[in-house]
């Protein structure tokens, strides 16, 4: 199939609103913005009864603050989402979207003006504890091809955090994901590579953050990934090259994959996913909540400029026409050498680098050399993250994980 190269972009967002249910008697025309004092305020029309809001579809249980003072007839204007002093009054949700419902038959959603997508802790464990993504590889032997493959990737290429707070050139930095509720409506989606995709419909919010999103939040650039984690079922859905149609009534994508986060099952052999290697993306993202927890306990996702027409466990797919054995195959595991001194880095960066020493990173796509993936988050310090670029490819080594494989069709790893 296709080799894919990432484009590295970020976001600035303007207001967008969508009606989720059409009804003659339903709240509509939702708008959301921060006021001058930072208060998040909502405007809507055609209210029936008492309006409520939530951060996920079907979970609109929060009353507006002093709603009687900002409502005239069936219209509400700049109603604050919470009382003074409540954190949600001035802190946008991770997905930047508010859902509004009333006593009628409909809902509408609004993207908070100027909001940048952030991240939140997933609602369930990301893959079983014995999955290869979550396996400590700090004591495993160095692969026989380590020096050759590192040289191919770039011995002097700096380690590059492809995530941050942003915006950069008006766009988000990183691969966003969103937690959706159990009742999020299913939406039709078609795929270019349908023969290697899990068919729709998918429960895609109309204003879902898309990788590379800019002034319109659901219009991405580059790989334009969409990642959806469904609370309750713990199902992960990922889309490559996602494009919204008809204001979110339908979508298209290059490819799509569905993963049970409680399972070690891999994609069918030779199938792609939303990533070139046929692997899930979410397990390889560094998240800010892991910095707060003080440890990263899984491998990170990274890219290389040119790969081999081959893949190694747990990858399922290649994205190259070259059979040159000096090029790295998809799925190789790379770790930061134990001898690298990380004591001079900030506490936050030491969390990342300690994780790279213990769990390493997995080659998942074609792209710029030594780019590691993470979720965008307003709490990242982009200047501090830039210090990671003082490390380079020669500070890393490829690990041989073949002895951990239990079954070639499973991500389960031996202890």
Which whole-number Å values give the CA distances from 242 to 16, 89, 99, 175, 197, in the listed order?
A: 18, 32, 22, 13, 13
Residue 7's pLDDT band (cuts 50, 70, 90): very low
Fill in the DSSP letter of residue 112: B
Which whole-number Å values give the CA distances from 122 to 23, 127, 180, in the listed order?
A: 33, 11, 10
Average pLDDT, the chain: 93
User: Is residue 2 pLDDT above 70, yes or no?
Assistant: no
Residue 214's pLDDT band (cuts 50, 70, 90): confident
Which range, of 17-31, 121-135, 174-188, 280-294, averages the lowest pLDDT? 17-31
Model pLDDT, residue 407: 98
Residue 19's pLDDT band (cuts 50, 70, 90): very low
DSSP string, 274-320: SSTTS--SGGG-B-HHHHHHT---SPEEEEESS--S-B-TT------
User: Is residue 404 pLDDT above 80, yes or no?
Assistant: yes
Model pLDDT, residue 207: 95
Model pLDDT, residue 25: 59
Model pLDDT, residue 218: 84
What burial letters (b/e) apply to 145-178, b meaning 16+ CB within 10 Å?
A: bbeebbebbbeebbbbbbbbbbbbeebbbbbbbb
Model pLDDT, residue 215: 64
Residue 337's pLDDT band (cuts 50, 70, 90): very high
Q: Is 20 exposed, middle or buried (0-12, 13-18, 19+ CB in 10 A)?
A: buried
User: Is residue 22 pLDDT above 50, yes or no?
Assistant: no
Model pLDDT, residue 316: 98
pTM of the model: 0.92
User: Is residue 368 pLDDT above 90, yes or no?
Assistant: yes
pLDDT digits (tens, 9 = 90+) for 67-91: 999 999 999 999 999 999 999 999 9
User: Is residue 307 pLDDT above 60, yes or no?
Assistant: yes
């Amino acid at each position: 199939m296709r080799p894919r190269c990432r484009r590295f972009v970020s976001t600035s967002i303007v207001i967008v609103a969508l009606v989720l249910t059409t009804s003659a008697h339903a709240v509509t025309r939702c708008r959301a913005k921060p006021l001058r004092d930072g208060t998040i305020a909502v405007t809507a029309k055609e209210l029936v009864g008492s309006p409520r809001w939530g951060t996920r579809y079907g979970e609109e249980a929060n009353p507006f603050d002093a709603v009687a003072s900002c409502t005239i007839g069936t219209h509400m204007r700049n109603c604050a989402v919470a009382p003074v002093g409540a954190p949600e009054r001035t802190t946008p949700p991770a997905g930047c979207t508010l859902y509004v419902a009333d006593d009628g038959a409909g809902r509408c959603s609004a993207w908070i003006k100027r909001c940048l997508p952030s991240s939140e802790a997933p609602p369930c464990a990301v893959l079983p504890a014995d999955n290869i993504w979550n396996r400590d590889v700090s004591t495993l032997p160095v692969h026989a091809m380590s020096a050759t493959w590192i040289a191919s990737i770039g011995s002097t290429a700096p380690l590059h955090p492809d995530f941050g707070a942003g915006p950069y050139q008006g766009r988000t930095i990183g691969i966003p994901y969103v937690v959706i509720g159990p009742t999020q409506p299913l939406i039709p989606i078609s795929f270019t590579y349908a023969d290697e995709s899990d068919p729709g419909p998918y429960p895609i919010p109309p204003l879902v953050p898309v990788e590379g999103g800019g002034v319109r939040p659901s219009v991405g650039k580059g790989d334009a990934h969409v990642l959806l984690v469904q609370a309750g079922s713990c199902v992960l859905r990922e889309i490559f090259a996602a494009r919204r149609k008809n204001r979110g009534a339908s979508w298209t994508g290059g490819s799509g994959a569905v993963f049970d986060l409680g399972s070690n099952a891999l994609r069918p052999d030779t199938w792609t996913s939303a990533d070139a290697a046929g692997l899930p993306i979410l397990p390889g993202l560094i998240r800010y909540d892991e910095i707060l927890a003080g440890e990263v306990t899984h491998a990170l996702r990274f890219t290389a400029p040119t790969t081999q027409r081959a893949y190694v466990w747990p990858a399922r797919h290649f994205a190259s026409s070259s059979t040159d054995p000096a090029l790295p195959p998809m799925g190789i595991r790379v770790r930061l050498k134990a001898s690298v001194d990380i004591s001079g880095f900030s506490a936050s960066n030491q969390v990342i680098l300690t994780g790279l020493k213990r769990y390493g990173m997995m080659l998942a796509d074609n792209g710029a050399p030594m780019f590691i993936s993470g979720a965008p988050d307003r709490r990242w310090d982009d200047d501090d993250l830039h210090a990671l670029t003082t490390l380079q490819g020669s500070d890393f080594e490829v690990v041989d994980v073949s002895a951990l494989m239990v079954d070639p069709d499973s991500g389960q790893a031996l202890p």
